[in-house]
Structure 1
């Protein structure tokens, strides 16, 4: 089947499509990519050692900026809109949940397979060549951090038919209930424990933010006044939690912090979702007007077709650039982070990483062109795929592919096996 060009896809877009959904998806992932590249405070010292840190750990004045740069809530709002629309369409066509989930998971998991296989090969070969495990652990952990989002989103996506039913029955009560439950999870995790109870909020809190997408889809978040009211509610709750609770200002994790808002996910990110959703959607009429321009919409289509690959590979490219710099005596990495010289080179840093990432995406981006598979599938297959993907991606996001005991590359194979479980099995007796 011939693939249409981006210009042809843009021209063929039906008038009923909400183009702001696509714009926000691309914009959110772009902000994440640029933000990750910006907060990396890397410097090679005179003795040739790499001092790796983060801008957020070095400068507390940057913490309020994370209320803007932590845009994953926007992506979950967009996901709620898209999943609600997709599931309802599937039901109208008579498609069952296993087949629908298979399609959604394939679009998420197939593009990540080449990244995982690349890192498995890299750590195995590098270890055999004598590279110290501490460096491999740091590199693989940094490069695979983006997979935490997929681990959470896979579960939220799998539960979409259930959460959509909750939205239909309880409406805004499902959002309030999700945030309240997220607060209870935090209370248990931060007081009586155990601490790992907090990981439930990867589903509870992000699920509540996902409900906002249903509200948008159903017109229950309409009108500028209502949207600004939601934003005000989110801002008020967020300020109160930070001022009165144990939560830090930074919405992105900090090394050594007693409490992080993002690891595990805390209820603060749910209120950040209210704030961001309200503000962004208040601008929807202007954004809709902009997206009616052929050139602007074509750019969104072009970027949208490969944005997942950019998201998955952007930190791998940065790690490879840092490794290459070390081989060249620290070329380009001698400026002290946060100095005037360091800030002046950030546009060049972004440009270099952007061009290299574009080159990598040109090679691996075709994995986003996931072929649609049809036919019935047993329910256990997408369920198994979701479990394997969530487990493997979650572990890798936290610890990379190297643990204290040595290489742990087999975690990367779990999502790969999950992706394989989504293939259509051959029908017995078929010719």
Structure 2
């Protein structure tokens, strides 16, 4: 007798509110998946040269135009703008203040980060004391913590999200134009002075400005194919002018041979890349909506989003660990020379192994993405802001230098975000009341 009981996928589909924009969740999951697969491909492992952070981009310059499709961080900020705008407006309706709203966002993003930082602190200490070269441990930790630059930038954007929403509601598209114009001035100053450090404000300016395109999507200001194609056209023309006439490189991902990086620090090119990608992706919104009405595809999307932070944060740690294990074993048969025919042929197997290993890590560490619901009273506004600053500062430094310096393990940088979240109340200390229910 055939069972008529609904499958798990059908139950999830039926439980999803009709008002939910499933494309937002799909794009978030797809963007992070592309980032993960891209990192696993771009970073090469040479049995003689060790781990090569920009191996493919440095050795095969024909791949640089492909980065216009595979540098998908703008899509994550587009989705973030939609989600954060929706979340902050909901908080305003419920009379939830900025401090409580920000603490909730920090818990969602920051708590899964804690085990990763503590793990790399331990790895750094053990490796250095075991006699591993400091430079090797530094590079390994820096590469493993590459995702932290994005998280630092995203947290900065969340900090200014509510006032940026006010700017959008008051000035509309001019608020985006103004932000990009300021970013252009920062870029011009940084490039003219040959000082990348002067370009660091654009981690905030570029991404905060583009994040507001998500507000435009939320408010229906990007409805219609004509508007979306116009946005894509502006992005394409802007990119072509900046790359062909201006000083910016073709690759949207940092390559060792380029004098300037488009992503480190973030350059104004990323805003135009985001416009191009957003216009093209949103032009597919209706067919994507139809596809996501299929219970199985929607179920996979939900599963990925449930563990998306763990998947993103740990994927390079798994790769760095496997790479150094194979190098230590001198397993040359498993490490073909990068960019050779055998190397390309074995990439699917490489990705499959990393998927399996990362999946095991997600099973263990994924529970940190579902902390207990927080029903404590709203904190003073300075507390979550101070916690966010600690997280951003620690992550920003580690994205550049890892957890090891010339004098040994710089333990204060991985501990700064952890301590900041604990001291300023993002992580509840013993005795503080939190709900036993899961969000």
Q: Pick the TM interval, shorter chain.
A: over 0.9
SS at match of 2:45: strand
What is the rounded CA distance, in whole Å, between the counterparts of 1:427 and 1:309 in structure 2? Answer: 26
> 1:178·1:208 contact (CA, 8 Å) conserved in 2?
yes
What is the rounded CA distance, in whole Å, between the counterparts of 2:325 and 2:427 in structure 1? Answer: 38
Aligned-pair CA distance for 1:330: 2.5
Aligned-pair CA distance for 1:366: 0.4
CA deviations on 1:55-105 (whole Å, 9 max, x unpaired) are 001111100000000000000000000000000000100100000000011
CA deviations on 1:273-306 (whole Å, 9 max, x unpaired) are 1000000000000100111111111110111101
Distance 1:8 1:127, change over 3 A: farther
Aligned-pair CA distance for 1:51: 5.6
SS at match of 2:201: helix
What is the rounded CA distance, in whole Å, between the counterparts of 1:75 and 1:182 in structure 2? Answer: 19
Name which of structure 1's ranges 405-414 and 297-306 shifts more when overlaid on structure 2: 405-414
> 2:164·2:212 contact (CA, 8 Å) conserved in 1?
yes
Aligned-pair CA distance for 1:331: 4.5
Distance 1:51 1:350, change over 3 A: closer
> 2:180·2:206 contact (CA, 8 Å) conserved in 1?
yes
Gaps of 5+ in 2: 1-7, 434-439
> 2:148·2:398 contact (CA, 8 Å) conserved in 1?
yes
What is the rounded CA distance, in whole Å, between the counterparts of 1:33 and 1:195 in structure 2? Answer: 26
In the superposition, the TM-score normalised over structure 1's length comes to: 0.95
1:384 matched to 2:386? yes
Distance 1:6 1:303, change over 3 A: farther
What is the rounded CA distance, in whole Å, between the counterparts of 2:14 and 2:199 in structure 1? Answer: 46
> 1:115·1:312 contact (CA, 8 Å) conserved in 2?
yes
Aligned-pair CA distance for 1:242: 0.3
RMSD between superposed Cα atoms in Å: 1.6
> 1:6·1:302 contact (CA, 8 Å) conserved in 2?
no
Distance 1:39 1:398, change over 3 A: same
The residue aligned with 1:423 is 427
Aligned-pair CA distance for 1:340: 0.9
Say which of 401, 404, 418 aligns to 1:402: 404
The residue aligned with 2:200 is 199
> 2:51·2:323 contact (CA, 8 Å) conserved in 1?
no
CA deviations on 1:21-74 (whole Å, 9 max, x unpaired) are 0000000000000000011121203xxx52625100111110000000000000
Report how many aligned residue pairs link the two structures: 421
> 1:178·1:204 contact (CA, 8 Å) conserved in 2?
yes
Say which of 4, 8, 28 aligns to 1:25: 28
Aligned-pair CA distance for 1:329: 1.5
What is the rounded CA distance, in whole Å, between the counterparts of 1:402 and 1:7 in structure 2? Answer: 48
Distance 1:115 1:427, change over 3 A: closer
Distance 1:21 1:51, change over 3 A: closer
> 2:242·2:248 contact (CA, 8 Å) conserved in 1?
yes
The residue aligned with 2:128 is 127
Counterparts of 1:184-195 in structure 2, within 5 Å, are 184-192=185-193, 194-195=195-196
What is the rounded CA distance, in whole Å, between the counterparts of 1:295 and 1:412 in structure 2? Answer: 39
